[in-house]
Each structure stands twice: as structure tokens, then as C-alpha cells.
Amino acid sequence: MGLVIFFWSIARIMQNWRMGWIGLLMVGLFGVAGVPELRADQKTVYLTFDDGPREGTREILDLLQQEQTPATFFIVGGHIINAERRETFRKLQESSLVQLANHSFTHANEQYRAFYANPDGMLKDFSKNNEILGFTQPPYPTRLPGRIDWRFEARYIDTRSYPLQSQVPVPEGLIKLFDNGFVIYGWDLEWGRPGKKVPLEPVETMLKRIRSRLAGGAMVKPDHLVVLMHDFHFSTPQTLESLKTLIRGLKEDGLKFGRMRDY
Ligand SMILES: [Zn+2]
């Protein structure tokens, strides 16, 4: 508004009303160009895959290589049960596109209530998985099995109670993990539910959800969208094709891809 008055005043001083309109036009052009709207390349999507190595992991890795797209795999050490999975795990470790992260050794044996009631047991389980991953120096990037909680930069975020709040007491197990160097990442959006193999929501639906979130929806960290997926969902040619479509769609939007170390 200040600029409008400025240009208008100059035009009046010059006693040339036509200049006033030119001034307004300039303000308009300047205003459009000067809007501090974030560009797509300032927004980052974090593709994260949980529960591997298992069926689907190898196929995802091949696709990431083909698309030269980085991602983070939250590994469950207890899933390395045979030579084939050891080989898949080795390939993940070798890939320069992949960041590995800790998703516990046992996945809580799917007994979440008992697992989270035992902070010492939790620490032991995640520490055992650190050994599998070869993690020796904190911070240890981690995701809790069966829980969306976040704890990083000394913040605790329970995203089940959006809008983000700080009134919820931090569970004892999370304090213990954080104090021992584990940095805990939840997610902003999930593609597919772990229990349901079919259907994975259509890729168009997922692209729409990602775009609308990035356009101003709720995110733990603005302009940094963490997407959760599960390896096993992508073990069929159809779902793998959907993942490829998702990656290409996001690339066309000009978005950046990050790993959790970039978060
Ligand atoms: Zn999991």
C-alpha cells in the first residue's frame, strides 16, 4: 500500500494523472513478483519405508536406483531372517541413495502396550538394532513401531493430538531413548495401512493428498513432508508401478526429495 501511495504521489506531483496509472501498474507487477510465496524447490518430501527388509524392499531399492531418488528405510533387524534378506540388507547399506534408520529389533513383537510400558526393555531392543545397523555414534535416527510420536530437537510431539501441543507428558520410554541418543521421527502422511494389503489408495489420491498438504496443510515441520509407506505394499508389479508414478509426479512438481538426515 505504501508503494501505491508513493507512486501515486509522484504522479500527482508531476501533475500527470496518466503516470499515476503507470505507477499503479508497476506496483501491481512488483507486488506479484515480490510475493514471498515458497517455490516447489523449497519444499521437501521424505519418502520413508518401514519394516524391511522383507518382501518389496528389493523392488523399491531397484526403483529408487532407476529414478535416482533418495529415501529412508526404517529397518527391523529381526526381519533379517535368511540369506536373501541379508543380501537385501547389504544392498541397502551399499546404496548411496538410501539412509538406514532404526525401527527396533523386534517391532515390539506387535505387543505395543507391553513394549511401551517397559522403558529399559525398549532401550535394549533399539540398542540391539543399532548393532545390526552398525550405528555407533548418536544421533540414531529412529521410528517407533506402532506409534506416530516424534521426539527431536528436544521437542516431543504427539501428532495424534493436532494441532501440535506440548501439554501431553512425554512417555518415560521416549525420554530414555532420547537421552541415549535416539532421535524419533513420526510421519505426516501415510500411504496404505499396514494391516491391509489391498487396497493401497490409488496413486492419484496420494499425489493429491501430498500436494494439498504441501500447499498449506498440517506438517510437523513446515515445507518438510514425511511420507510413511511399508515395503511389503510394493511387492507387486502394479503397486510398484504406482510408486514410480508417485515419484515421477513429485519430480514434475519440482519438489526436492530428502532423507531424514536432511530433516
Ligand atoms: Zn513398523
Contact 74, 54 (CB under 8 A): no
For the chain, the domain total comes to: 2
How confident is residue 198, by pLDDT bands cut at 50, 70 and 90? low
Q: Is the pLDDT of residue 6 over 90?
A: no
Measure 42 CA to ligand 1 centroid, in angstroms. Answer: 29
Query: What's the whole-number mean pLDDT along residues 83-96?
Result: 98
The confidence score (pLDDT) of residue 158 equals: 64
How confident is residue 197, by pLDDT bands cut at 50, 70 and 90? low
Q: Is the pLDDT of residue 245 over 50?
A: yes
The confidence score (pLDDT) of residue 64 equals: 98
Measure 263 CA to ligand 1 centroid, in angstroms. Answer: 20
Query: What's the whole-number mean pLDDT along residues 228-255?
Result: 96
The residue segments making up the domain with residue 17 are 2-34
Contact 224, 11 (CB under 8 A): no
Contact 142, 103 (CB under 8 A): yes
- Enter the pTM of the model: 0.82
Q: Is the pLDDT of residue 84 over 90?
A: yes
6 and 70 share a domain?
Answer: no
Measure 27 CA to ligand 1 centroid, in angstroms. Answer: 53
Measure 189 CA to ligand 1 centroid, in angstroms. Answer: 14
Measure 192 CA to ligand 1 centroid, in angstroms. Answer: 12
29 and 64 share a domain?
Answer: no
Measure 229 CA to ligand 1 centroid, in angstroms. Answer: 9
Measure 145 CA to ligand 1 centroid, in angstroms. Answer: 5
The confidence score (pLDDT) of residue 156 equals: 73
How confident is residue 243, by pLDDT bands cut at 50, 70 and 90? very high
Note the pLDDT tens digit of each residue in 97-120: 999 999 999 999 999 999 999 999
Assign residue 143 the CATH number of its domain: 3.20.20.370
**Protein residues near ligand 1, an ion, with CB under 5 A:** 50-51, 145
Note the pLDDT tens digit of each residue in 206-217: 999 999 999 988
73 and 58 share a domain?
Answer: yes
Of the candidates 241, 247, 229, 244, the residue with the CA atom closest to the CA atom of residue 190: 229
The confidence score (pLDDT) of residue 2 equals: 44
CA–CA separation, 169 and 65 (whole Å): 42
128 and 8 share a domain?
Answer: no
28 and 47 share a domain?
Answer: no
52 and 140 share a domain?
Answer: yes
Query: What's the whole-number mean pLDDT along residues 221-247?
Result: 95
118 and 70 share a domain?
Answer: yes
CA–CA separation, 92 and 82 (whole Å): 16
The confidence score (pLDDT) of residue 157 equals: 72
8 and 22 share a domain?
Answer: yes
The confidence score (pLDDT) of residue 252 equals: 97
Three-class SS of the chain: CHHHHHHHHHHHHCCCHHHHHHHHHHHHHHHHHHCCCCCHHHCEEEEEEEEECCCCHHHHHHHHHHHCCCEEEEECHHHCCCHHHHHHHHHHHHCCCEEEEECCCCHHHHCHHHHHCCHHHHHHHHHHHHHHHCCCCCCEEECCCCCCCEEECCEEECHHHCCCCCCCCCCHHHHHHHHCCEEECCCCEECCCCCCCCCCCCHHHHHHHHHHHHCCCCCCECCEEEEEEEHHHHCCHHHHHHHHHHHHHHHHCCCEEECHHHC
Measure 103 CA to ligand 1 centroid, in angstroms. Answer: 7
Measure 88 CA to ligand 1 centroid, in angstroms. Answer: 18
Which comes out higher in pLDDT, residue 123 or 171?
Answer: 123
29 and 48 share a domain?
Answer: no
The confidence score (pLDDT) of residue 44 equals: 97
Measure 15 CA to ligand 1 centroid, in angstroms. Answer: 72
With a pLDDT cut of 90, the percent of the chain lying above it is: 68
Note the pLDDT tens digit of each residue in 27-81: 444 444 444 445 677 899 999 999 999 999 999 999 999 999 999 999 999 999 9
Torsion of CA 147, 183, 60, 233, to 10 degrees: 0
Measure 75 CA to ligand 1 centroid, in angstroms. Answer: 9
Kindly report the number of other CB atoms within 10 A of residue 175's CB atom.
Answer: 14
102 and 186 share a domain?
Answer: yes
Q: Which three cell numbers stand for residue 81?
A: 531372517
Measure 240 CA to ligand 1 centroid, in angstroms. Answer: 19
152 and 237 share a domain?
Answer: yes
Measure 5 CA to ligand 1 centroid, in angstroms. Answer: 59
Measure 252 CA to ligand 1 centroid, in angstroms. Answer: 30
Contact 228, 191 (CB under 8 A): yes
Measure 106 CA to ligand 1 centroid, in angstroms. Answer: 10
